[in-house]
Structure 1
């Protein structure tokens, strides 16, 4: 049976028109394509700040519960890591310097970081640039601390021999065989979904208040409360403080940039960014623009916290954004 015609969705129709030159695909999307084109010719750069400040904090908290140490490290990162607002951006929050960048997670696989860092610029697949000054920081300050402490090293020790054989190359335990993949336990994966709706409805201020109430209600004589629940709840409080601080640093930067901006259109955009970041994600989102920015801060800070295997899922954006869009 033959069909008389092909039926396209509106999106497919637009793509067809663009391919045939019947539609200016950049019209109305000039800002997006300007940002995209600035990326096309760039080689990614390694930004070491996340690894540097994470390591600094972990050195100071040895002996404390791991969940508490991790939260303190994130707070240290939020206080010290450079914040950026790229030209043309309306949505802010990134884990590294402008342009294409990569972050380091020495706590996960830093056992081979000192060797890998020197090979990054010259490798055939996915090369990265790194300044000599930053390479020296990695080799001399970051990598030595993590030798023997990384998740990768502990995982290889804990795996049964048969499983280890199918997970890593027996001749080189740094090389994954991709028969059995450690992704779900080693780094985030697409099945990880945050409760973005809770953030949008309550803000991190509300989440922090809930954790503080539960912490205050713990039994001081209970070993479980003191050894397990208390460190976790304090870690929740620390992370809430960290992401709010990080957002407000973006608000401050946006206001400073607005003062210097000569273009009135961009000046107004920066002032709006400052106002939005001063409110969310600390507080509940009041409109669609705030909801999107709050979600992105949550998504991006999670990427700073945890290495991504593919992506940290955005979940059902249609469901949790719709009340603000509608």
Structure 2
């Protein structure tokens, strides 16, 4: 963009129509739609003899053909349910909890279960109670490993929402959908069918996949046609000439896409949304079908329209904002436990910047417009990410800083050099393809349209300190969970303690991976033929994504949370007990058992012990060793024998895990949150400034071997003020990335503002903050997560 155009865009403000749509959406009451439950029960009852993939396809088609439709004032058409903000539960994932609660959670609010809704919920539970993914996994894991998933969850070792999920986190090939249309995909399926020999091994399964994929794609075309008919009906009764014309245009667009190739920007963005919506209709789950390469896919349509005089920047920005509003209409149903670690998050990642296959800067005008659209509308989703490289212009980077200054925690920065090396190492893909990666999941990377999206269990590493100190017993519940590694009071050296800790760690890493791999094997019983048909190379192989149809594996393995708590705890034990001998192990255990009440001097010593984040080898090298052990203990393949990498991030698991973890030698109080992220500092302990923090962060984890890492930084708004503040931040980021850092994200909001928002939430409904791998409305977060964000060290340059 030219400097003149940039200045013109910056002078724009949110239009009244967009503002009204935003207000209506954010004030919409969360709802549970019972239509899905009715359709699901009918389809599964009437088609009992069909393979499950066919039943899933018929359910999707029935939703498309019969669900209640409405058209609101957003010119992009299509909603998940008949409500402005609603969803429906996935009974097949796990439903035992639904009998035990009278309140269901959506990411942006909770729904009271009325007697009428309870009737539908109970019918769904009755139909699925013995055959959900969770119940099957729990039964099998108990038989094979003598482990009860529910017990381990309640003790805070794992999170119940994983391992496994009835959704795959589909990453569609949006460019293919827009360029070929769904009719083009149907033609590809027919070509695959023509090559099939059903007498061969898996031939029948491939035939069923093709049949299911065709059923779902035709269903989506039917849905778009129904929206076209509704728009025409509304147009006939519309008195306002402008609105009448718009409805007629909507009808024409929905009649053409997604069945056919998009011909202009307006059709392209509608087709893009239909692709997203269909994946969510099949499996309404977070991280599903994010608009990862939105700007790259839509740019040719925008460029053509602009060159031919059919669109200007302001119109494109407004259409982008309408798309953002559609994303924030999406929702999924969370159990109370899942809400604790996933509250307020959709995970709809969108990448800007990046590289072309031949290593040139891939930034285009839509990247600029996305930044401006988000700066104006300030929504938590999509999550804008910058794929950083040294060829980015300073003007573009400064525009990114402008968005960070709004306080919404976007964009997060990701180092392209690290990611390219990562994919070359693990996936052996061509260099040109590795350069085209996008950000997805929380802070992971993948090749858009070519990658499945499986992730394993999030694992509470901090629990290993408790189990080591209590000889494998969980101190909060009394359950014997781990190995019996000895009475720590009898240990005469730090090395003895450390070796006991390492035995617990290695045992649980291997167990966690095996349990996760078992769950994902069972997950193959829950195919997603619509989503799979949008991912290369599922159609060509005739294989659902759950069976390994995608070209590459996402490969997100065991996810480590709480490593920094462990490093700081081990540093305290080493320093205070075995080196300086200021405490005995018994004294420390007594203080921890009392949650430091009456042991204030012990707490002071623990807090004053060496801490990670200060460019000090003492604690940093312990953290590094733990991450190295984690990598070495972790299997390098998933349930289908494909590459898998350990990961390190938290979302809000640091708060959920903290609730199930007692006091620790690092000074953490019982049931308080663990450290956020994976290489963020313990709150208030990074005392040597931002440069020391980033040097520690790059020292402790191999960002190429690990599938992700996660650094949060919080700046007072004054620190980023003016051109000097912006350039200082960019200089810090470059230093961090030059040293090998992968990911960093920022909060730029004062503690005073956050405290006032707690006291007067009604005045801060639009306040968006960065939590972990996502942004969220601050007032929708639970108080312990709010407090953890407030307590993060407020940095200055």
Counterpart position of 2:94: 109
Structure 1 unaligned segments of length 5 or more: list them.
Answer: 1-9, 15-22
Q: Which residue of 1 aligns with 2:151?
A: 170
Shift in Å at residue 56 of structure 1? 1.7
Q: How many residues of Structure 1 are paired with residues of Structure 2 in the alignment?
A: 295
Question: What CA deviation, in whole Å up to 9, does each residue of 1:220-277 have, x standing for no partner?
Answer: 4324212x21011111111111111111111111111111111111111111111000
1:55 is aligned to 41
Is the aligned partner of 1:42 residue 2:28?
yes
Mean Cα displacement is larger for which, 68-77 or 180-189?
A: 180-189
Distance 1:177 1:253 in 2: 49
**Alignment root-mean-square deviation, CA:** 2.9
Matches within 5 A, 1:193-232: 193-226=171-204, 228-232=205-209
Residue in structure 2 matching 1:33, options 10, 19, 22: 19
Partners in 2 of 1:178 and 1:197 — Cα distance?
41
Q: Does 1:239 align with 2:216?
A: yes
Task: Please give the alpha-carbon distance, in whole angstroms, between the structure 2 residues aligned to 1:34 and 1:90.
Answer: 13
Going from structure 1 to structure 2, the CA distance change for 1:303 and 1:178 (only over 3 Å counts) comes to: farther
Q: Which runs of 5+ in 2 are unaligned?
A: 1-5, 304-797
From 164, 168, 172, the equivalent of 1:185 is 164
- Structure 2 match to 1:18: none
Instruction: Summarize the alignment of residues 50-129 of structure 1 with structure 2, pairs less than 5 Å apart.
Output: 50-86=36-72, 88-116=73-101, 118-120=102-104, 126-129=109-112
Shift of residue 315 of structure 1? 1.8
Matched, 1:154 2:133: no
Cα shift at 1:178: 7.1
CA contact under 8 A between 1:257 and 1:270: conserved in structure 2? yes
- Cα distance in 1 between the residues matched to 2:110 and 2:225: 34
Q: Which of 248, 258, 261 is equivalent to 2:235?
A: 258
Give, in whole Å, the separation in 2 of the partners of 1:176 and 1:257.
55
Q: Deviations over 1:173-212 (max 9, x none)?
A: 7x6947357557315476x411111111111111112112
Q: Mark the structure with the bigger radius of gyration.
A: 2
Distance 1:163 1:245 in 2: 48
Deviations 1:143-167 (A, max 9, x none): 21111121221122233676966xx
Q: Distance in 2 between matches of 1:260 and 1:308?
A: 37
Match of 2:555 in 1: none
State yes or no: 1:323 paired with 2:300.
Answer: yes
Matching of residue 134 in structure 1 with residue 120 in structure 2 = no
Partner Cα separation in structure 2 for residue 164 and residue 38 of structure 1: 47
- The 3 A distance-change label for structure 1 pair 108 and 128 is same
Shift of 1:45: 1.2
Higher helix share: 1
TM-score by length of 2: 0.35
